Amino acid sequence: MRTPGSRSVAFGAFLSVLCGTAAPAVSANIRPVAYPTLPPMVDRAQAVVPDGWQSSSLVWGDLNGDGHKDFVLLLRDNDPALRPSQSFDTNPYMLAIYFSDGDGQYRRIASNHRLIPRHDSPELEDVIDSVTGGGVWIENGTLLVSLGLFSGTSSGMGSRGFTFRWQDGHFVLIGFDSYEVNRADGSISSDSYNFLTGRRKHGVSSIDSDQTKFTWSSFARHRAPTLNEMGDGTEFDPTAQ
């Protein structure tokens, strides 16, 4: 499984590393938005993009094993009113997943605007634009979503990665990876959770070393959530029920 990944604590604890002793206050400029309903069928990926939105990225690959290329669009609202400054853009993201019908048509399978959170604090980098890396991929028939975590005002940085596989009519989470770097002391911590085996791989290293010490353990597997059941990815706890 891919490794953008950290400790199993909730993201609120990681924010204490990123921004001091407390999580940053949500900006007063953040306001609710109405998410558009995406078309059920299209003949090309660009036809999915709603008015006033833009395509942030587009990836192709076979997600359901039928031999046809499907696509995943990462959409972002483009409302100037939701951009308080050039470096602080609170426009929301939205994932759109379409399967090929094999005849030039693509059918909407899922959409999600919760997993990738809005940029709600000028103290943190946007999770997609963050220097630690973020984005969407299709790899080996699975959907991967990576969120970068970075603060320009403190020592913390890292990432969180989610691997989903299409099974039984849903995108089911099969892997979760996290990665943390403390730039103050140089320590590095990583975790990889495999929901298929119930095994966790924990790594400890430092920026001064090219070696990582790994330990393996079991974790209590609960029913893995589907993409539609996922909330804010920065708050995901792999051991919670």
Which amino acid is residue 145, in one-letter code? V
Taking a C-beta distance cutoff of 8 angstroms, is the pair 38, 108 a contact? Answer: yes
First-to-final CA distance of the chain? 22
> Is residue 171 within 8 Å of residue 163, measured between CB atoms?
no
Q: What is the mean pLDDT of the chain?
A: 86
Dump pLDDT digits (tens) for 124-153.
Answer: 889 998 756 679 999 999 999 999 988 766
Token readout for 239 is 């051991």
**Assessment of whether the complete model's pTM goes beyond 0.95:** no
pLDDT in tens, 138-195: 999 999 999 998 876 666 789 999 999 999 999 999 999 999 998 888 999 999 999 9
**How far is 200 from 80, CA to CA, in rounded Å?**
43
The amino acid present at 164, given as its one-letter code, is: F
Q: What is the CA radius of gyration of the chain?
A: 18
